[in-house]
Chains A and B, each alone.
Chain A
């Protein structure tokens, strides 16, 4: 019996995406920026709709209105933290107030943003008519996040690969397609050595070794991500990643940034072309089980510029 192999494919083109960006830019200017949320949604709907997996395309169901409301709530939240911080400064002194602001933003709002953004995005994504979802609260993520940050700082960064793997595990293990979870069985010890090597080689190789490390980590993460009885696998190599980076940078440079949509398309295609899901995924057994989610976390992620998630293909 041969194992079924399933592959993604990306059908988007730079020209189409460029037109979308162009119309978006005009509308953003005309609306003094308000259209930004709808623009973001339109780009996502296009990118998801052009991404095929095993013969069927993804669909994105988010709306600009949701993003706007999420962003407003996020602004309100951050504002409340700052106001509370100022009050504490007045009552308990400047240092306590500043500590409060840093702790609240860094240890509560940032994990909220990471989890919230993923919750929102997955809940608005579907494939074969079945929604994805993320089934954990930011409250469960805070201990992992806070401990990871503190240990990373205390160990002068040595703990970082372990932290990174733990974040990945939390994000993947609580991701569902319909009623079935993804699962991650990676271990920080497996990438620790390469991480050290990458740090040591960073300066002698003028930073170029980092591409090989990133590719390694990418492959490692995918090969430890599974769904049902099937396992992902990626064939990304450091050389290919470097080639992608250099050609993208050159394209942007030569066209003064106008090539951005083509760069976006090339990058997604690059990752899609190298990804497979091998094994019995039992997709027939997957049942619809959608979950509600608001876009507040997404708004926070935009505000605080934390995007730990969207680094790879669809953030899985």
Chain B
């Protein structure tokens, strides 16, 4: 506790003109300080005339400055001097900070910081997705098409495209039948890539890419339609473009902190590499749901989708090359159960796809083009 009756303090005085250190006796008065130097001369510092520069950190001498630059300086080592000052000059004391007050401030600052951090976290988890959806809706379809084009090109430029016209038309036909019924604003374009990987993806603007590996493990065109419907819904619901937009703020902040806007631009453009694009689980569920509805609307048997995912689930183990599709579309039990619930109860006269053409032959027509069978 401060001795409230203590009026005299020892300190050091610097006149701002020389580096001479004057030993000084400080008397705390009612309107200001009276400084008595070692030669007996006096200085009067009124309370409103000086400011505190140091003395609020633990162990730090109290440093007061008076006047324009270069100021006169008074240093008192004993920090309780500050408390005594504050008691004596309540009006002027507001800007003076004692160590105890500083600790209190720090605690507030810490609390505010944590709160701010929480707010930033909440904004990132909920605010940014909402904003991304809003912005995505405002993006002209032509931009999406251009982005999608460059995405598809960057992924498929190393691959051969299946050019068998019958296969190409068959797949495109399924896509168009659904897109007609869904009344989408995108014109869809399906491409079959000649690669053994089991994979399929959609790019913004209406681009659907199916790998030969996936095509060959479907046992009916309805199964393929199920995969296509799911991917088309990613496009229609703008999941891809939203995923990119969700990344933007984080990357900007990282770039700002790192202080490198060059890499920021680079990151923005390579955000478009599909590898870094992850749909959220909610997006996947939504694409399943809307995909089934779209199939039903187009008169296509949605059981194909279910059958395909069930088979994926069964064969999941021991098939490393399936990693591509499985890693992005895990056929979890939960997912299959939801599909079953959606499909149950809807009975309809489904129109068989492709008029009952030989699916086993058609789905292999890409591979035969590349590697003619020897037998």
Seen from chain A, the residues whose Cβ lies within 8 Å of a Cβ on chain B are: 11, 16, 19, 22-23, 25-26, 28-30, 32-33, 36, 49-50, 55-57, 59, 61, 126-131, 177-178, 283-288, 290
Cross-chain contact of B16 among A23, A30, A57, A129 (Cβ < 8 A): A129
Tell me the bound Cα distance from A57 to B75 in angstroms.
10
Query: Could you list some 27 contacts between A and B, CB below 8 A?
Result: A11-B60, A19-B106, A26-B113, A26-B117, A28-B256, A29-B253, A29-B256, A30-B116, A32-B253, A33-B256, A49-B54, A55-B21, A56-B12, A56-B21, A57-B63, A59-B53, A61-B69, A127-B19, A129-B16, A130-B16, A131-B70, A178-B19, A283-B19, A284-B18, A285-B18, A288-B17, A290-B70
**Residues B18-60 near A (CB distance < 8 A):** 18-21, 53-54, 57, 59-60
Tell me the smallest distance from the CB of B51 to a CB of chain A, in Å: 13
Give Cα A130–Cα B256 distance, bound, in whole angstroms: 38
Please name 13 further chain A to chain B contacts, defined as beta carbons within 8 Å, in addition to the given A50-B60, A61-B69, sorted by A numbering.
A11-B60, A25-B257, A26-B113, A28-B256, A28-B257, A29-B253, A32-B256, A56-B12, A128-B19, A129-B70, A131-B70, A287-B18, A288-B18
Q: Are B20 and A283 in contact (CB under 8 A)?
A: yes
Closest to B72 in A: A129
Please determine whether A128 and B257 come into contact, CB atoms closer than 8 angstroms. no
Residues of A within 8 A of B113 (CB): 22-23, 26
State the majority secondary structure of interface residues on B. Answer: mixed
**Min C-beta distance of A45 to chain B, whole Å:** 10
B127 at the interface (CB under 8 A from A): no
Taking A23-B113, A26-B113 as contacts, is the C-beta distance between A57 and B20 under 8 angstroms?
no
For the complex, give the distance between the alpha carbons of A288 and B73 in Å. Answer: 13
Please name the residue on chain A nearest to B253 by beta carbon.
A29
CB closest chain-A residue, reference B53: A59
| B residues in contact with A285, CB < 8 Å | 18
Task: Give the distance in Å from the alpha carbon of A19 to the alpha carbon of B109 in the complex.
Answer: 10
State A61–B69 Cα separation when bound (angstroms): 10
> CB within 8 A of B18: which of A26, A36, A126, A130?
A130
B70–A128 contact, CB under 8 A? no
Using Cβ atoms and an 8 Å threshold, which residues of chain A touch B71? 129
Q: A130's closest neighbor in chain B, by CB?
A: B19
Instruction: Say whether B325 faces chain A, with CB atoms less than 8 Å apart.
Output: no
Separation of A129 and B109 alpha carbons in the complex (Å): 31
One of A11, A32, A283, A287 near B59 (C-beta < 8 A): A11
Cβ of B257 to closest chain A Cβ, rounded Å:
6
Task: Name B51-103 residues within 8 Å CB distance of A.
Answer: 53-54, 57, 59-61, 63, 69-73, 75
Q: Does B259 contact A (CB under 8 A)?
A: yes
Kindly state whether residue B164 has any CB partner on chain A within 8 Å. Answer: no
CB distance from A21 to the nearest CB of B (A): 13
Q: Is the C-beta of B181 less than 8 angstroms from some C-beta in chain A? A: no
> CA separation between A32 and B254, bound complex, in Å?
9
A177 to B19, CA, bound (A): 9
Number of interface residues of B (CB under 8 A): 32
Q: Please tell me which one of the listed residues B16, B20, B57, B259 contacts residue A284 in the complex, with CB atoms under 8 A apart.
A: B20
A59 CB contacts on chain B under 8 angstroms: 53, 63
The verdict on B252 contacting chain A, using a C-beta distance below 8 Å, is yes
A288 to B71, CA, bound (A): 11
Q: Chain B CB within 10 Å — which of A29, A57, A128 has the most?
A: A128
Which chain A residue has the least Cβ–Cβ distance from B252? A32
* Chain A residue at minimal CB-CB distance from B21: A128
| Chain B residues closer than 8 Å to A28, beta-carbon distance | 256-257
Q: What residues of chain B lie closer than 8 Å to A50, measured between beta carbons?
A: 57, 60
Task: Give chain B interface residues in 245-272, CB to chain A under 8 Å.
Answer: 252-253, 256-257, 259
The residues of A that contact B257 with a CB separation of less than 8 Å are 25, 28-29, 33
* Interface residue B15 (Cβ < 8 Å from any Cβ of A): yes
Q: Are B73 and A129 in contact (CB under 8 A)?
A: yes
Q: Which of B18, B54, B75, B256 has the most CB of A within 10 A?
A: B18
**B69 partner residues in chain A, CB cutoff 8 A:** 61, 290
CA separation between A33 and B116, bound complex, in Å?
17
B322 at interface (Cβ–Cβ under 8 A)? Answer: no
Complex alpha-carbon distance, A29 and B57, angstroms: 26
Q: A11-B59, A11-B60, A288-B70 known; A129 and B14 CB under 8 Å?
A: yes
Q: Is the CB of B19 within 8 A of A284?
A: yes
- Interchain CB contact under 8 A, B70 and A126: yes
Cα–Cα, bound, A292→B252 (Å): 37
Which A residue's beta carbon lies closest to that of B110?
A19
Q: Shortest beta-carbon distance, A228 to chain B, in Å?
A: 11
**In the complex, are the beta carbons of A128 and B14 less than 8 A apart?**
yes
- The chain A residue sitting closest to B109, CB to CB, is A23
Contact between A286 and B18, CB atoms less than 8 A apart:
yes
* Whole-angstrom CA separation of A16 from B57 in the bound complex: 9
CA distance A129 to B54 in the complex (A): 14
Residues of chain B lying within 8 A (CB to CB) of residue A129: 14-16, 19, 70-73
Taken together as a complex, chains A and B put the C-alpha atoms of A104 and B357 apart, in Å, by 74
A29 to B252, CA, bound (A): 10
Residues of B within 8 A of A25 (CB): 257
CB-defined contacts of A126 to chain B, threshold 8 Å: 70
| Closest A residue by C-beta to B13 | A129
Contact with A along B224-237 (1 / 0, CB 8 A): 00000000000000
In the complex where A33-B256, A129-B15, A129-B19 touch, is A57 in contact with B106 (Cβ < 8 A)? no
CA distance A177 to B20 in the complex (A): 13
Residue of B nearest to A128 (CB): B19
Take A16-B57, A26-B116 as given contacts and tell me if A36 and B20 are in contact as well, using a CB distance cutoff of 8 Å: no
Q: Which residues of chain B are near A29, meaning CB under 8 Å?
A: 253, 256-257
> How close is B359's CB to chain A, nearest CB, in angstroms?
55
> B17 contacts which chain A residues (CB < 8 A)?
287-288
Give Cα A287–Cα B17 distance, bound, in whole angstroms: 6
CB B284 to nearest CB in A, in angstroms, measures 31
User: CA A261 – CA B252 in complex, angstroms?
Assistant: 26
A46 (CB) vs chain B CBs: closest residue: B57
Tell me the complex Cα distance, A252–B16, Å.
Answer: 42
The 10 closest A-B pairs by CB, nearest first: A129-B14, A286-B19, A33-B256, A32-B256, A128-B19, A130-B19, A129-B73, A283-B19, A129-B16, A288-B17
Shortest C-beta distance, B79 to chain A (Å), equals 13
